[in-house]
Chain A
Amino acid sequence: MSARRAWLVAARELRADLRQPDGVVAAATFMAALILLQSIVVGPQVARESGVAPALYWIALLFAALVTALRSFDRELEDDALDAVLALPGGRDALYAGKVLALAGTLALVGLVGGLLAIAFLDLAIALPGHLGLATALGIVALPGIVVLDVALTLRLRARAALVPVLALPVLVPQLVAATSASAAALAGDASASLAWSALLLAIALVYAVLGLTIVPTAIE
């Protein structure tokens, strides 16, 4: 796979998001709405707890990732741009890797907005901000591989919007548990636990990156 081609796809994706930021805005709004709704449903005292706030945050970010990835491929299909990318030499690999990179970039922005909102709305006290930043960054890196994989596998299928969460959510449980635990440990001031869960996130991200690049391009049609 050519890293340059993957970067070109990612840059094209981010440029499209800048020119027409409906997907990013929808994801950020969606995330803000989920954080607000969840804190209303469970109550502010429960929502502020170090074990609960990160769980709400990561679940919201996961759904935002699904929304963003679905929107990204929908845009390709609406503009008939997908076939042109796939026709290029190494197009399938570049498409997968580029979409993963672009989604990670978008999620970083959405995650930052969502994180600031969560800190403001829930008045969170952060014991280890550096560890929380590391956990968030690695959590964001660990999500897109599977999300893009499942969206790519369901391209042009009916009931796609329902099928993607069914396929993605069970596979993403380890990422969700590790990201939540790493963030919770950082909020509570447990540095060693936060680093251990962050290392697991890194391992998961590497495994799925290798797996994705090996098998997913063959399945994109």
Chain B
Amino acid sequence: MITTAPPRALTVRIRPVLGLASVAAATIATAMALLWAPPDAVQGEVQRIMYVHVPAAWTAYLAFVVVFLGSVGWLWSRRLAFDAVAVASAEVGVLFTGLALVAGSIWAKPTWGVWWTWEPRLITTAIMFVMYVGYLLLRGLSPGIEQRATRSAVIGIVAVLNVPVVHLSVTWMNALHQLPTVLRPGGSPALDERMLATLLVGVLAFTLIYLWMVAKRATLELARSARVMEGLR
């Protein structure tokens, strides 16, 4: 038995609050990144791209972990809310991965001298992007609500194994990309305090934007599914 009932978290008035919080956090993060955080001693002003690149990448990781959890939830309970959250999270995750790749490429040109190079972090991130585009393609081509949700859930579970590979690729292989600076094994963040604070506010802003987009998209997906099922009755 499939249920299209939306979870309480989506039915209460959470989205306007998330929207307002996202705008506030994004405004503060932008001001901190452009005006308060000091320029990098070596790279200068161009390093400020980090405040978009890193939060976008981290939010993409979060999004794909949520796809995994939503996929497990669907296979476990057959509640369409889990599938709706999974697809919403996959779409936003693909968007943020694309943003991280583009921002990284813009940052690479003045610092590495090239837009793109053979580099483990770049390649594994691009592979992760393609993997979730494949997830969305499979959804788009699968007929039937249940069939589509089940098939994509399997891909959502398998694909999450790539997330730690992306994050740790720079420590496993010789890399041009810098090693993890904040979430580094066995040490405190190797970053100026103001830079770290700005980065964390940026991560908060991106996370709130992510949650707002996922809540909106998941609600839409559930409404679509309910309409399709009503049409079938």
Q: Which A residues fall within an 8 A CB radius of B?
A: 146, 149, 153-154, 157-159, 163, 166-167, 170-171, 173-174, 207-208, 211, 215-216, 218-219, 221
A173: nearest chain-B partner, CB-CB: B127
- Assembly CA distance A218 to B142 (angstroms): 15
- For B134, list chain A residues within 8 Å (CB): 163, 166-167, 170
Interface check B21, CB cutoff 8 A: no
Stretch at the interface among B89-97, B148-156, B208-216: B148-156
Q: A153-B155, A170-B162, A171-B158 are known contacts. Are A218 and B150 too (CB-CB below 8 A)? A: yes
- For A174, list chain B residues within 8 Å (CB): 165
Size class of the B contact interface (CB-based, 8 Å):
20 to 34
Q: A159-B141, A163-B134, A167-B138 are known contacts. Are A216 and B127 too (CB-CB below 8 A)? A: no
- Assembly CA distance A154 to B46 (angstroms): 45
Whether the Cβ atoms of A163 and B137 lie closer than 8 Å is yes
- For B155, list chain A residues within 8 Å (CB): 153, 167
Interface check B75, CB cutoff 8 A: yes
- For A163, list chain B residues within 8 Å (CB): 134, 137-138, 141
Closest approach, in angstroms, between the C-beta of A117 and any C-beta of chain B? Answer: 29
- For B154, list chain A residues within 8 Å (CB): 149, 153, 215-216, 218-219
Interface check B54, CB cutoff 8 A: no
The 4 closest A-B pairs by CB, nearest first: A170-B131, A166-B134, A167-B134, A219-B154
A153-B138, A173-B124 given. 18 additional CB < 8 A pairs?
A153-B154, A153-B155, A154-B138, A154-B141, A163-B134, A163-B137, A163-B138, A167-B155, A170-B131, A170-B162, A173-B127, A207-B161, A211-B158, A215-B153, A215-B154, A218-B75, A219-B150, A221-B147
